[in-house]
Amino acid sequence: MRKVQHVTVLGATGSVGLNTLDVISRHPDKFEVVALTANRNVDSLFGLCVKFRPTYAVMLDAGGAERLRRRVTEAALATEVLCGAGALEEVATLPQVDTVMAAIVGIAGLRPALAAARAGKKILLANKESLVTAGAIFIDAVKRSGGVLLPIDSEHNAIFQALPRRFTGDLGAVGVRRILLTASGGPFRTTPLEDLEQVTPQQACAHPNWIMGRKISVDSATMMNKGLEVIEARWLFNAGEPCIKVVIHPESVIHSLVEYIDGSMIAQLGNPDMRTPIAYALGYPERIDAGTDFLDLARVRALHFEEPDHRRFPCLDLAYQALRAGGSAPTSLNAANEVAVASFLEGRLRFSDIARLIESVLGRVACTTITTIEDVLAADRKSRLCAEEWLRKAGSDATVEAKMSYAGR
C-alpha cells in the first residue's frame, strides 16, 4: 500500500491551486495538505485552512498575514501563519513534504519552485516562468537532487502521457520526430485584425473553452501562452526548436500530440478541465479519479486544425525568437510580457500594443549568459525597467485611447 503524500500548494487560491485541492479532497486516503500559500486573498485562504487544516499557511503580504493570523486564532485552528517570500521557500522544502504544487503565477513563483527542485521534491509544475527564465538551472537542480518533475500545463502533461515510459531525455532514442502543442486560438481567432486595436480586458479574458486567471487568459488571447509553452517544452523534453510545432485546435479536445518517425501520432484527449492533468501528476505513476466529466466523442463530432496566423499572433513568433537567441532572451520576453499584460488589464495599453512592447524590449535589452538565479533576476529587472520606459515614452497616446475605448464600451 502506497504511503500518503504530504502536499504543499504554492498559489492555493488561484485556479490551478483550487483545482488541485478539489482533486485532493476526493482522495483523503492518498493526500494530506501540509501547507497552503496565497498572495493577498485572505478570505479564500482562510476558507481553505478551515477545510484542509494545514500545518502552515503563508501570505506573501504582511498585512494579509496578520489578518489571517487573527482569523485562524479566532477559529481555534492549529495552522501556523507565516509571511513573506522566504516562507514560501520554507514550506516548499519542509522535510515532511513529498509533493509541491508550484502554481504561483509569474516570476514570483521561481524561487520557491527552484527550492523544491533542489530539495528533491516531486514537483507539479504549473509555473511556466520557472522553465522559461531558468530552464537549465531548474532541470539541473532536479537531476542533482533526484527529484521528480511533472508538468501541469495540459499541453505538456499530454505530451508526457504520449511519450514512452522509458523516455529519459533523448527524443530520437524513442523514435520521436516532433512534438505538437495544440492551441485553441483564444477568443480572437476569427476576429478581424483591425478590430484587435479596440479589444477590452473583459473580452480578452473570456476564453471560449477554459476557465483561467486573468493574466493567463490574456496570454492565451495573444498566444504568448503558447509561446511560453514552446520554451517550456524545450526544457521539459530536451527538444530542439525545429522539433516543437504549434497547431490551432479550436475545440481543445486534443491537448497535444507526439509524432513518431514511423508516421504514428499519439494524442491525449479529454474535456478541457485542469483537474485531468493535475490528477495525473498527483497520482503518477498511477491514475486516480479527477472528478471530471468524461469525453463524449459522438457529441464532439468533429475536430478541426489549422496553422497559426502569424499576423494575428505576433507574440508566438517573438517567443520562438527568444528561444533561438537563448541566454537571458526568454527572461526578457517573460518580463516584458508580464508588464505589458498588467498594463493592458489596467487600461494603460492597447491589446495590439502588447506585442509591440515585447518586441521593443527584446531589441533593446542585451542578451546575456544565464548561469545563476541572480542572473535571471538581474535580466528580469532590466527588462521590466525597459518595458516601463517604453510605456512612458511610447504608450501615452495608447493609454488615452485605450481608456476612452474601455469607457465607451
pLDDT over 90, % of the chain? 89
Q: How many CB atoms lie within 10 A of CB 363?
A: 10
Segment 274-292 mean pLDDT:
97
Helix (H) or strand (E) holding 222: helix 214-222
Provide the grid cell at 167.
523516455
Strands 31-38, 56-59: pairing kind:
parallel
Segment 156-164 mean pLDDT:
97
Taking the C-alpha atoms of residue 54 and residue 50, their distance in angstroms, rounded to an integer, is 9
Answer yes or no: are the C-beta atoms of 210 and 109 closer than 8 Å: no
Show me where the domains of the chain are located. Answer: 5-151, 194-218+326-409
Answer yes or no: are the C-beta atoms of 351 and 196 closer than 8 Å: yes
pLDDT tens profile 186-228 = 899 999 999 998 899 999 998 777 667 788 899 999 999 999 9
- Cell 500518503 belongs to which residue? 4
Band the pLDDT of 94: cuts 50, 70, 90. very high
Band the pLDDT of 107: cuts 50, 70, 90. confident
Taking the C-alpha atoms of residue 113 and residue 132, their distance in angstroms, rounded to an integer, is 13
Out of 3.40.190.10, 3.40.50.300, 3.30.70.1250, 3.40.50.720, select the CATH number for domain 5-151. Answer: 3.40.50.720
Identify the pLDDT of residue 405.
42
What are the angstrom distances between the C-alpha of 281 and each of 135, 156, 258, 390?
20, 11, 19, 40
Band the pLDDT of 396: cuts 50, 70, 90. low
Per DSSP, 323 falls in state H
Identify the pLDDT of residue 212.
72
Residue from 345, 326, 335 nearest 390 by CA? 335
pLDDT tens profile 122-156 = 999 999 889 999 999 999 999 999 999 999 999 99
Order the strands of the 99-102 sheet from edge to edge. Answer: 80-83, 56-59, 31-38, 5-10, 99-102, 122-125, 148-151
Segment 60-75 mean pLDDT:
96
Identify the pLDDT of residue 395.
57
Class of domain 194-218+326-409 as given by CATH: mainly alpha
Q: Would you say residue 407 has pLDDT above 80? A: no
Identify the pLDDT of residue 397.
52
Q: Which of 49-63, 213-227, 363-377 comes out lowest in average pLDDT?
A: 213-227
- Give the chain's largest Cα–Cα span: 64
Identify the pLDDT of residue 210.
65
Band the pLDDT of 388: cuts 50, 70, 90. very high
If you average pLDDT over every residue of the chain, what do you get?
93
Band the pLDDT of 6: cuts 50, 70, 90. very high
Band the pLDDT of 400: cuts 50, 70, 90. very low
Q: Which of 76-80, 246-250, 396-400 comes out lowest in average pLDDT?
A: 396-400
Q: How does 150-175 read in b/e, with b if 16+ C-beta sit within 10 Å?
A: bbbbbbbbbbbbbbeeebeeebeebe
Taking the C-alpha atoms of residue 258 and residue 172, their distance in angstroms, rounded to an integer, is 12
Segment 281-300 mean pLDDT:
96
Identify the pLDDT of residue 3.
87
Provide the grid cell at 131.
522553465
Q: Provide DSSP, 15-55.
A: HHHHHHHHHHHT-TTTEEEEEEEESS-HHHHHHHHHHH--S
* Residues sharing a CB contact under 8 Å with residue 282, sequence separation 6 or more, in sequence order: 5, 7, 20, 23, 24, 27, 30, 31, 99, 124, 288
User: Nearest 5 degrees, angle CA 39-CA 277-CA 94?
Assistant: 50
Q: If DSSP codes are grouped into helix, strand and coil, which group holds residue 10?
A: strand
Identify the pLDDT of residue 402.
44
Residue from 337, 277, 334, 332 nearest 103 by CA? 277
